[in-house]
Amino acid sequence: MNEKISRTKYGEKYILRAVFNKVLCFIAMLPIGSKIKIFLYSLAGVRIGKNCFIASYVLIDDQYPELITIEDNVTIAYRAALITHDDSRKIVSAITLKKKSWIGSCAIILPGVIVGENAVVGAGATITKDVLPKTTVISAMVRVINKVDK
């Protein structure tokens, strides 16, 4: 699990950068080509590896995009959300999607989560804890349904 940092300790951004990130992330969320989308998210500060696919209407946190790392060959399906801050607890924390992981439609990845290599997050799952490598998790109340030993 990535370290959770107090939002006040992490600091606030310059207003122009915050507005710039909001515009970039909003445009990238629309149904445009995946390569353009990845370019726009990279401009906002998201670290994105090679051969990644990000579907339309994926919500990537525009307040702290620099805390998101998407490694090589990751797929993020329609309407998934990657949220790096929690205003109720006043924390921010990084999200890491390891190589060849797959995030299902409408899944929500919350602050501090690391999704392991070759892991699958099922549609609609809310992820609050790390997902182990080569593991599939499903449902809003996440449970492990299999572990691949290959």
User: Over the stretch 5-45, which tens digit does the pLDDT of each residue have?
Assistant: 665 555 555 677 778 888 888 888 888 888 888 999 998 88
Q: How is the chain split into domains, by residue range?
A: 4-147
The fold of 4-147 is UDP N-Acetylglucosamine Acyltransferase; domain 1 (2.160.10)
Strands, E, within 41-115: which ranges?
A: 47-48, 53-54, 59-60, 68-70, 75-76, 81-82, 85-86, 91-93, 95-97, 102-103, 108-109, 114-115
**What percent of the chain stands above pLDDT 70?**
87
**Span 106-130, mean pLDDT?**
92
Determine the Cα–Cα distance for residues 33 and 120; give it in Å rounded to an integer.
23
What pLDDT does residue 79 have? 93
**Span 126-145, mean pLDDT?**
83
Split at pLDDT 50, 70, 90, the class of 74 is: very high
Q: What is the distance, to the nearest Å, from the Cα of residue 130 to the centroid of all Cα atoms in its chain?
A: 12
